[in-house]
Amino acid sequence: MQLMHLARDVKTAVELAIAAFAPGDLVDRLALAAGYLDAFATLDPEAPALLPVINRTMERADIALSTWRQWQKEHLPRAQA
């Protein structure tokens, strides 16, 4: 379940980062993580051989999301209520 939520969050972040003209390297990191997470959806996430790769990808996705959120705070205006 955690993998699916992370995949959804990263995919959304890629779309938002592209629309916000975020730096290419940030978009690339998000897109790479999204691609891997999407591929894992078709595989058995409990397969012993995949666990290290999935864990490493999830860590990278978390870092990319954190970087995106920081960039978003620094560069995008907040909506006025």
Does residue 81 lie within any of the structural domains? no
Question: What's the confidence (pLDDT) of residue 1?
Answer: 63
Q: How many structural domains compose the chain?
A: 1
Q: What domain range includes position 64?
A: 2-75
Q: Which helix (H) or strand (E) holds 56?
A: helix 51-75
Does residue 16 lie within any of the structural domains? yes
pLDDT at 81 over 80: no
Share of the chain above pLDDT 90, in %: 78
Question: What's the confidence (pLDDT) of residue 77?
Answer: 86
Calculate helix-pair angle for 24-40, 2-19, nearest 10 degrees: 150
Provide the token pair at 13: 């972040």
Total residue count of the chain as it appears in this document: 81
pLDDT at 45 over 90: no
Phi, psi at residue 38, to the nearest 5°? -65, -40
At residue 21, the 3 state secondary structure works out as coil
pLDDT band at 16 (very low <50, low <70, confident <90, very high): very high
Q: How many CA atoms lie within 13 A of 22 on its CB side?
A: 25
